[in-house]
Structures are given as C-alpha cells and as structure tokens.
A and B are shown apart, each in its own frame.
Chain A
Amino acid sequence: KNQVEQSPQSLIILEGKNCTLQCNYTVSPFSNLRWYKQDTGRGPVSLTIMTFSENTKSNGRYTATLDADTKQSSLHITASQLSDSASYICVVSPYSGAGSYQLTFGKGTKLSVIP
C-alpha cells in the first residue's frame, strides 16, 4: 500500500530560526513529490514539485530535497517568520501512466513559529 509518513507531527520554533521537516514514502513507481503549505482554515498551496530526477528545488526561503533511492524528502525553512506557521503536507504521485488521479497525502507537520 502506498504510504507517506511525515515527521515530526508538530514543531515549535523561534522566529528567525531554521527548521527541517521530513517525509518518507513507500510509493512506487514514483512520478513526483510535492510539498504544500496549508494555513489554518484555508486550502493547501503548492510550495514545490519535484520529479524523481531532481535532488533539490527552492522557492524563496523554502528548499525541498529528494533522495529517490532512500525514498526520503525534506523541506528546509530558512530564517522562519511568523507567517510560516502552518501545516506542511508532503504529497507523492505514483506513476501509473496517463490519466493518473490518485495522489498519496501525508498527514502533515504542524509548524508554529513564535516570537
């Protein structure tokens, strides 16, 4: 069964500090991996999307890494801001040819940035 496990479940950091969120997956074969940010009471918003051939991708202060061999990804947040407080969701897309609709979502890591 395809699974995506995220750690930690929750994290509290001081404003200005860096942090790293982890994602392990068992999805195979694998098409791409995405990180979403979900603010409380809102829908998820895409941060990055990486194919199996990409090792790293950045979006401002967010940098995602991917190791397809070990089936691990991480999301690094640099110089955190209060607005980074949100849930971060790792999503993996299995490869099953054209017309694939089933994504596998992790449960998310809830990040709280405090002053």
Chain B
Amino acid sequence: DAGITQSPRHKVTETGTPVTLRCHQTENHRYMYWYRQDPGHGLRLIHYSYGVKDTDKGEVSDGYSVSRSKTEDFLLTLESATSSQTSVYFCAISDSDASSYEQYFGPGTRLTVT
C-alpha cells in the first residue's frame, strides 16, 4: 500500500460522538486525500490537502473537517457522527496534483455509526 497506513482499521461508534481517522504516509508526497466508498457509488472525495496546513473541500465535505500539521499525517474528523457517515474511508497520496499523477491508496477504515 505504498507506505500508507490508516488507523483505526475498523471502528464502531454511536451517533453524535466525534471520530477522528488518521492517515500516515512515509513517501513524503505533497498531496493527500480522503475519500469515502459506499455501495452503489464510486469513490467520492471528501477533502484534500496540497501541503502542510493547506486543505480544501471535495464534493462530499459536509459534516467532515481535516487537518494537516505535518507532511506525513492527514486527519479526518467527524465532529458529530451520523448514520449516513457509515462507510469505508480511504486515504490516498500523490506526488503532485491528481489530474496528472498517480494516486496511491491506503488500506481503508471501515466506520460504522450506530
């Protein structure tokens, strides 16, 4: 998985609780992304980062926030989890912008909100 780890790999939480997912890379890639994958949908971009402290929204960003204080770590936070956020979350990295360069994906985090 190209030097990308995600933690936790599985999590069950209750509606209304905050949740933070972590993505850690050892490739020193500038760009990092958070996606969610749901049945019947392709992967959808939540947020991305193009450098330390530089982040922006993707197409499904409502209810999520991110932070990147170090090159290697990209955190995804659900401030108050809802059942609609039950999903598999993937982190991805790339050396440059997604349009031209290969993206490498982490192993995923399966989140269940009850």
Instruction: Point out residues on A near B: beta carbons under 8 Å.
Output: 4, 31-32, 34, 41-46, 49, 89, 93-96, 98-108
Contact = CB atoms under 8 A, between A and B. Distances in A.
A93 B1 contact: no
A102 B40 CA distance: 19
A57 to B, nearest CB: 13
Contacts of A4: 42
A15 B22 CA distance: 39
A31 B99 contact: yes
B74 interface: no
Interface in B1-25: 1, 4
Contact of A107 (B41, B97, B99, B107): B41
Interface residues of B, number: 28
Given A44-B105, A93-B98, 10 more contacts: A42-B107, A43-B90, A43-B107, A45-B105, A93-B99, A94-B99, A100-B100, A101-B98, A102-B45, A107-B41
B38 to A, nearest CB: 10
Contact of B48 (A46, A93, A101): A101
A94 B45 CA distance: 14
Given A31-B99, A32-B99, A100-B97, A89 B43 contact: yes
Contacts of B48: 101
Contacts of A31: 99-100
Contacts of A42: 1, 107-108
6 contacts: A34-B102, A42-B1, A42-B107, A100-B98, A102-B98, A107-B41
Return the 7 tightest CB-CB contacts between A and B, nearest first. A105-B42, A43-B105, A100-B99, A105-B43, A93-B99, A101-B98, A31-B99
A103 B33 CA distance: 11
Contacts of A96: 99
B56 interface: yes
Contact of A101 (B1, B99, B107): B99
A99 B100 contact: no
B100 A32 contact: yes
B69 to A, nearest CB: 20
